[in-house]
Structure 1
Amino acid sequence: SEYYLEWMLAVPCAGGIVTPLNYRWSFDEANAAIQLVRPAILVLDEQCRHWGEPLSELYPWMMQVFLEEDCESKFFFFLSFLRISPSWQLFTETNLDLCFAPNNIALICFTSGTTGTPKGVSLTHRALVAQSLAKLAIVGYSSMDVYLHTAPLCHIGGISSVLAMVMAGSQQLFLPKFETSAVLQALKDYEISTMIVVPTMLRDILEPGIFRKSGSDQVFPSMLTILNGGGSVPSRLLPAVKKTFPNARLFSAYGMTEACSSMTFLRLDGHVPLGVGSCVGKPPPHVQVGIKDGRIFTRGPHVMHGYWGQTIETAGVLQQDGWLDTGDIGKIDKAGNLWLLGRAKDVVKTGGENVYASEVEMVLSQHPSVSSVAVVGVPESRLSEIVAAVVRLHDGWTWSISEHPMTVSESDLRLHCSKQGLSRYKIPKLIVQRQDPFPVTSTGKVRKDMIKAGLSKL
């Protein structure tokens, strides 16, 4: 709600450091984060109020503040709280003596933890301002926008976007959490002009089954800008995006918490650039991106100060000359576009060959039956690892060996990979169909560690 944002802005303004905790964490996960940052004040709302008593016993010196919601609606408006007049009367009337400390830490933001325990990333005032300016320059937010909060404000994607909106002076509409029906209702009722999504959210919004429940396909002409993060937009979704949001520009961003969110932006004008890997566009002003030994590095005012309380881990990724090792594999083409080949940790090493999971996932996702896919390496005695894929099917498709046109099998998908030109050693040796949704982080990223653990038991 707006109370959350008030605290997020007020604490750094007062010279403190704000640390959002993930409301989806278990108590043990929240406790681990508190042990790391040791806050002076813990602010809780109704959803996390149950953490209060056990934490007060563990940390009796820590002050706790409880927020009471006074609005029963599922929508929370934030229309004019931050519309500061050019005369800056808000500050002159209270005689505040504000300090200029751009290099001081303003935010500790925890990573989404797709491969392990989340780390606390320390970000400075300068980094947050640089990221906001990058989004204003490339995406073009303005004071005329009505922004829908679809991303959680405990992760850097949501935080950086809301700060850009504050800088632009836009109006903002809060949702307690992402629910497809609530998002569609908000789009209909409040003439939303911009939002950020991850591919899972976008797919849910555009899902035909949702539209059938409402009686007819919906069109939202007020939407002007959509920023996608957390993964590439499947090309098959682009026609539906254009149909549902006819006036919208669709951008895709590549970033990470350690880089204060987005490092590159790509505008998708009705097509997704094809090639090995995913094209993620060019960096905005003041952001450097380079390739060293096949790995993607970035440097600039957006880069983190370090991992809070973890100097060894910081030294492992942040070089003395300011370059940050993203842990991703990539290349830069002749036009200056960055291509993401995958995570260095998301490479399957099979029979002496390296297979990028993202390349295999892209090929499998082009089959008409596949709704979503995750590719991992499964230990194997002879090859070290084999390429394994877990797929979820679109509604109406059946996992079966049959001549029926709406059925698909493991051999069908292998044949598809071969026809698409995938090398033999890259074609999955194991393909499993999954009915349940993939386990994901709160930012919608697939938990590959859990997928791999499940397959290893087969």
Structure 2
Amino acid sequence: MSGSRWRSIPELALSAADRFGDAEAVVDGGARLTFRELADRIRVAAGAYASELGIHKGDRVALWAPNSVEWIVAAFGLLAAGGVLVPVNTRFKDAEAHDIVRRSGAKAVLVEDGFLDREFTAPDGVPVVDVRSGFLAAGTPLERDVGEDDLADIIFTSGTTGRPKGVMTTHGQTLRLYDEWCDLAQLRRGDRYLMVNPYFHIFGYKAGLVASFLRGATMLPVAVFDPGTVLDLVERERVTVLPGPPTLYHSLLAAPPGRDLSSLRVAVTGSADIPVELVRRITTELPFQHLMTGYGLTEAGTVTASRPGDPYEAVATTVGRPCEGFEVRIAEDGEVLVRGYAVMQGYLDDPAATAEAVDRDGWLHTGDLGELDEKGRLKIVGRKKDMFIVGGFNAYPAEIEGFLLEHPAVAQAAVIGVPDERMGQVGKAFVVARQQVTADELIAWSKKRMAGFKVPRYVEFRDALPLGATGKVLKNRLAAEEVAPQS
């Protein structure tokens, strides 16, 4: 079934009522909705956006909440009202989220208060609506006309520099790309898809929710990853599709004897290096029949993917071949360049950054360093800038260093990524102190001010940082000196 049958994401989602009817669409705790019931809720939510918040076509709304049936209804209801979705990372602190809300021009922020024992707020003047307040059920059914070239979402990413930038993508781009993703992942009607990848990320939102609406897979949202919860759901709900970071599969392999994982059929991973031995174990010690890995970025979606039948070595050491409609080439300096229909419309209100990222010939400069093998498979070998990935989340040293420098005891700070067995990489901060402070105190202070994945795992105090002729910290020297700390 081709994504081109639909002009927009909400048209796709609402058509699932006719295509899949009373098949189970979502299972979330005690909530069980059919595709028909889910479509009805989405239409009512669309009406609530229009009547309760005055949302018109093209208006933006931020969604700052965990994976849940309410997230699905809130997001697709907004899209059905013609709105533009601005997902916000639930791990962000208020200051980080408020910056995104302000710059996106969001007319409202939808939240789930109490998640992780916190209250979610918005900048002054922006209404905050709890997704569990009854708002989503307060409207008269509505479905506005939305076209393939209309903007669907603005997803903020820091790209290759520290300040988040809003990536703009249309409905048509998403529909075409994730229709192919479904084929490559072998997602099919009746699959039961356990979703640990957060919906604020394209892996959860597009390769998760949009893909499920395309193929008629049952969506099982998980708000917080917990190995025991995942094992229980796999057994009880007969889960067939389980994408996630390598950490997820380590948990499955460590499951106590007697757990029934026999329903598992499809695994999908990416965003972190995968040892060849782990790939072998996933496909020989677990029931999975198919493991896909790939390379994607917010600015273009899923760019490359492995193919069924690829050998362990290829799946573990490369991110596969380009998806249809994409070209990938390696620049003279080793940077991975990408061109194709799914490359973003640009960064919101930032033409200079857009021009820097996408050149006149349409090539997106990814900031990643890579190689192409003789089969055309892409291997990522490093990052042009010093961004590192913690359990699938991009961490940007410049941003973390900015937070650290707010501490009164910190005179200078430099952050690099260091290897970690479970998370792939974690942050290590090299700090020149102006007054007495311990590593534990600095880490505890950081946890109150930035998302958990950004918080340095290790702190090393130095009398001075290595500097180049222009006064810039030589992070490559710090990395070369670094021996991976023992956890």
So what's the TM-score if we normalise by structure 1? 0.67
Name which of structure 1's ranges 145-154 and 374-383 shifts more when overlaid on structure 2.
374-383
Residue equivalent to 1:59 = 124
When residues 375 and 172 of structure 1 are mapped into structure 2, their CA distance, relative to the original with a 3 A threshold, is: closer
Superposed, 1:47-446 pairs within 5 Å as 47=114, 50-52=119-121, 55=122, 58-60=123-125, 62-68=126-132, 98-99=145-146, 101-111=147-157, 116-161=162-207, 162-206=209-253, 208=254, 211=255, 214=256, 216=257, 218=259, 220-267=261-308, 271-273=312-314, 278-293=317-332, 294-346=334-386, 374=425, 380=466, 428-435=480-487
> Do the aligned residues in 2 keep the contact of 1:318 with 1:324 (CA within 8 Å)?
yes
Task: Give per-residue Cα distances to partners, 1:38-63, cap 9 Å, x unaligned.
Answer: 211221222367234xx3xx432x34
Unaligned runs of 5+ in 2: 1-67, 135-140, 389-418, 431-464
Q: Tell me: CA distance 1:136–1:187, structure 2 relative to 1, closer, same or farther (3 Å).
A: same
Q: Secondary structure at the match of 1:46?
A: coil
**Would you say the 8 A contact 1:376–1:387 is kept in 2?**
no
Say which SS state the counterpart of residue 195 (structure 1) adopts. coil
Q: TM-score, normalised by structure 2?
A: 0.63
Does the 8 A contact of 2:160 with 2:367 survive in 1? no
The yes-or-no answer on 1:32 pairing with 2:93 is no
Structure 1 residues 234 and 343, CA gap change in structure 2 (3 angstroms): same
**Residue type matched to 1:6 in 2?**
V
Checking the alignment, whether the CA contact within 8 Å between 1:126 and 1:301 is kept in structure 2 is no
- CA shift, 1:66, in A, is 1.9
Mapped partners of 1:143, 1:327: distance in 2: 37
Is it true that 1:19 corresponds to 2:104 in the alignment? Answer: no
Aligned-partner Cα distance in 2 for 1:156–1:139: 15
Q: One-letter code of the match for 2:169? A: L
Partner residue, 1:450: none
Question: How far is the alpha carbon of 1:429 from its aligned partner?
Answer: 3.7
Q: Deviation above 3 Å: which 4+ runs of structure 1?
A: 94-97, 112-115, 261-270, 370-389
Q: Which amino acid in 1 is paired with 2:337?
A: F
Taking a change above 3 Å as real, the CA distance of residues 112 and 131 of structure 1, as seen in their structure-2 partners, is farther
Specify whether residues 347 and 225 from structure 1 end up closer, same or farther in structure 2 by C-alpha distance, changes over 3 A only.
Answer: closer
Shift of the 344–278 alpha-carbon distance from structure 1 to 2, 3 Å rule, reads: farther
Q: Any idea what SS the aligned residue of 1:68 has?
A: coil
Deviation at 1:267, TM superposition (A): 4.9
| Deviation by residue 1:259-296 (Cα, 9 ceiling, x = unmatched) | 1244333557562239xx94211012122222222221
Deviation of 1:381 (Å)? 6.0
Partner Cα separation in structure 1 for residue 144 and residue 102 of structure 2: 33
CA positional deviation for 1:434: 3.4
The code of the aligned residue for 2:128 comes to Q
Q: Kindly indicate whether the alpha-carbon contact (under 8 Å) linking 1:346 and 1:376 is maintained by their aligned counterparts in 2.
A: no
Structure 1: tracts of 5 or more residues without a match:
71-93, 349-363, 390-427, 436-458
CA–CA distance in structure 1, aligned partners of residues 482 and 198 of structure 2: 35
Summarize the Cα distance change of 1:257–1:331 in structure 2 as closer, same or farther, 3 Å threshold.
same
CA distance in 1, matches of 2:307, 2:386: 23
Instruction: State whether residues 335 and 365 of structure 2, in contact with CA within 8 Å, keep that contact through their aligned partners in structure 1.
Output: yes
Report how many residues are paired. 343
How much identity, in percent, do the aligned residues show? 25
Distance in 1 (alpha carbons) for counterparts of 2:247 and 2:309 = 17
Q: Distance in 1 between matches of 2:82 and 2:187?
A: 27
Report how far residue 31 of structure 1 moved.
0.7
Contact preservation (8 Å) 1:109, 1:121 = yes
